[in-house]
Amino acid sequence: MRHKICLLLLVCAAIAHAQDPNLARNLAATCANCHGTNGKSIGDNKSLAGEPKEKILRKLQEFRSGEKPSSIMQQIANGYTDAQLELIASYFAERK
Amino acid sequence: MLNRRDFLKTAGLAAAGAMAVSGCATTGRNGARGHIVVVGGGFGGATAAKYLRMWSNAGVDVTLVERNAEFVSCPMSNLVIGGYRQMSDITVSYANLRDRHGVRLLRDEVTAIDAAAQKIRLAKNGELKYDRLILSPGIDFMIGAVGGLEGNLETIPHAWKAGPQTALLRQQLEAMPDGGIFAMHIPKAPFRCPPGPYERACMVASYLKMHKPRSKVLVLDANGEIQSKKALFTKAFETHYKGILEYLPNNELRSVDAKTRTAMLDFENVKANVLNVIPPQRAGQVTSMLDVPLINDRWVDVDWLTMEAKGVERVHVLGDALFPAPTMPKSGHMANQQAKVAAAAILNLLAGEPPNGEPVVMNTCYSYVDPKAVVHVASVHQYDATKNTFLPVKGAGGLSPAANELEAKYAASWAKNIWADMLA
């Protein structure tokens, strides 16, 4: 019985988390309004395209903790999960 | 003609590898095909048109129906009214959508929608069949709600759709004598761009302070208080514009007299030299061609995973026309984000796959309190599968602590990047 429930839960969890193959792309597109389509900025906001994943993630963590002061990025970075930021950072790192 | 599968075969592994790196080959198992008609080329519609083409690797056909020749931005238009930007600074061509992205542009208007037959009728170009229809019509004004306003929008401009009305309000302000009264009326919420009216009051007051210091700005608000960034705007009103700007809450406009530019409120009449009435609003009229009731007779209800209108299949609605999810503002930024949710969902659906089950949208509205100082409000909204709606993330988002010059730089950059994100 316990096994069955576990299995069910697992299956449900797997269905609930059937991740869209374009999830990273979609999440990264929420940053484009300020950082440009695919992370290529044409204004004073920095481009994110082609930046190393670790660097992007480190900055986002520093914004979150407040270690790096920001006008807005702390408020934005706090709205995404670690897993989402990871996907976003990978996506931008892969742009040229 | 080569279809995409043949193309991949011919081009071989090298090309396929290159595409995977650029993310193009990840469009699901089978690429989406079909024709999407987008009605309305604002922040929502233009973004949807571009992203549908970009994300499908030009696999879907997209037609954009727009009645204006060029895009004119509401965000930044208050700067034009204050005299700090030109109309040309807030005007962007649609040509890149056609030339770079292969979007078919039709300068036209919808006269009928037949959702069952999946087609629309246009005033000039006849019928168009679609696999998916996106309506991004913005707002229309309920002019009749203000007595005497009908037919008098040249005398009493709203300037709440950017374009000739923006230029007109600027001209009236420039022509106003020193010592004159600029009165503006803000309708009961909800309306397009919650901080926008208060930003406008600041821009007008800033211009008058510099050029016509004996003049006054009267802000007649139907609401009981400032609807967005209240503390920040209150501070600006009381410090920058003390003695010039007067904020008067709980003042609902009943009617106007265009001849004398008089605003008739509940308890008093205000005679102005320039009268700027922002009328009450509803979803753009084209949404009334769908056979569904609007919420409060004004706003469209959608399924947030796909942005599909409830009760009509294959018709998606974006932007200010929507009955929003909790705390979701009617803003250009939000319409752009919703457009990407819709584009991703439509491409999945056309490829026979379910929509992304965990979309995220975020909003930022920058407002100028003077030509050099800006404040923002931001929020992030994650889809909640148990409630079937977007909910704001607690602990995220927020306001600027105070007006500052750094964010004036970022606001200008935001405008450049978002205009490019939709139109370049």
Final residue in a domain of this structure, among B261, B281, B301: B281
Are B149 and B267 found together in one domain? yes
Whether B261 and B291 map to the same domain: the answer is no
3-state SS of B293-309 is: CCECCCEECEECCCCEE
Could you give the ipTM of this predicted complex? 0.91
Task: Closest CB to B407: pick one of A33, A37, A71.
Answer: A71
Is pLDDT at B276 greater than 60 in this prediction? yes
- pLDDT score at B30: 56
- pLDDT at position B31 is 87
Report which of residues A65 and B29 the model is more confident about. Answer: A65
What is the predicted pLDDT for the residue at B267? 87
B293 and B193 belong to one structural domain:
no
Strands B119-122 and B253-257: unpaired
The stretch A1-13 carries a mean pLDDT of 43
Is B367 a member of any domain? Answer: no
Pick from A20, A48, A95 the residue to mutate for testing the B interface (most B CBs within 10 Å): A20
Residue B163 shares a structural domain with residue B55: no
Listed residues B305, B340, B357: the one ending a domain? B357
DSSP B384-419: ETTTTEEEEPTT--EE-SS-BSHHHHHHHHHHHHHH
Is residue B91 assigned to a domain?
no
Within a domain: B124: yes
Residues 6+ apart with CB under 8 A from B195: B227, B228, B229, B233, B365, B367, B377
Check which CATH number belongs to the domain holding B351 and give it. 3.50.50.60
Chain A residues within 8 A of B412 when measuring between CB atoms:
43-44
* CA–CA distances in Å: residue B37 to residues B16, B97, B325, B347, B350: 30, 14, 25, 13, 14
| pLDDT tens per residue, range B239-252 | 999 999 999 999 99
List the domains of chain A with CATH numbers.
22-94 (1.10.760.10)
Measured between beta carbons, the chain B residues lying within 8 angstroms of A35 are 417
* Nearest residue, CB atoms, A21 vs list B26, B359, B424: B26
Could you tell me the pTM of the whole model?
A: 0.92
Confidence band for A18, pLDDT divided at 50, 70 and 90: confident
pLDDT at B20 over 90: no
pLDDT attached to residue A2:
43
Q: What is the pLDDT of residue B22?
A: 36
CB count within 10 Å of CB B29 equals 8
Establish if A69 touches chain B: CB-CB under 8 angstroms.
no
- Report if residue B370 sits inside a domain: no
CB B85 within 8 A of CB B424: no
Mean pLDDT of B392-417: 98
The confidence score (pLDDT) of residue B1 equals 35
Percentage with pLDDT > 70 across chain B: 93
Looking up tokens 């308890």 gives: B267
- Residue A72, chain B, CB below 8 Å: the answer is yes
Q: Which residues contact B149 (CB under 8 A, 6 or more apart)?
A: B143, B156, B255, B256, B258, B277, B279
pLDDT of res. B15: 37
Nearest to A79 among B333, B337, B397 (CB): B397
Which residue range(s) make up the domain with B203?
142-281
Residues B220 and B200 in one domain: yes
**One domain, residues B136 and B216:** no
CB contact (8 A) between residue A42 and residue B417? yes
Kindly state whether residue B89 falls inside one of the protein's structural domains: no
Residue ending a domain, among B357, B376, B395, is B357
Q: How many CB atoms lie within 10 A of CB B13?
A: 8
Q: Are residues B259 and B349 in the same domain?
A: no
Same-domain check for residues B344 and B300 = yes
Q: Is B249 inside any structural domain?
A: yes
- Given this model, what pLDDT does residue B83 score? 98
Give CA–CA dist B309/B282, Å, rounded.
16
Mean pLDDT score of chain B: 93
| Total tally of structural domains belonging to chain B | 2
pLDDT in tens, B40-74: 999 999 999 999 999 999 999 999 999 999 999 99
What is the rounded distance in angstroms from the CA atom of residue B219 to the CA atom of residue B200? 10
Residues B128 and B165 placed together within one structural domain of the fold: no
Helix H or strand E segment including B48: helix B43-55
What are the angstrom distances between the C-alpha of B273 and each of B162, B176, B202, B241, B279? 22, 6, 18, 19, 19
In 3-state terms chain B splits into helix, strand, coil percentages (rounded to 5) of 30, 30, 40
Has residue B223 been placed in a domain?
Answer: yes
Do B116 and B161 share a structural domain?
Answer: no
Q: CA–CA separation, B133 vs B114, rounded Å?
A: 11
Calculate how close chain A gets to B306, using CA atoms only, in Å. 13
**pLDDT for res A11:** 44
At residue B96, the pLDDT reads 98
Residue B179 lies in a domain: yes
Per-residue pLDDT tens digits for B92-135: 999 999 999 999 999 999 999 999 999 999 999 999 999 999 99
Q: How far is A24 from chain B (nearest CA, A)?
A: 10
Same domain, B296 and B261: no
Measured between CA atoms, the residue of chain B closest to residue A43 is B413
A32 touches B: beta carbon within 8 Å: yes
B157, B133: one domain: no
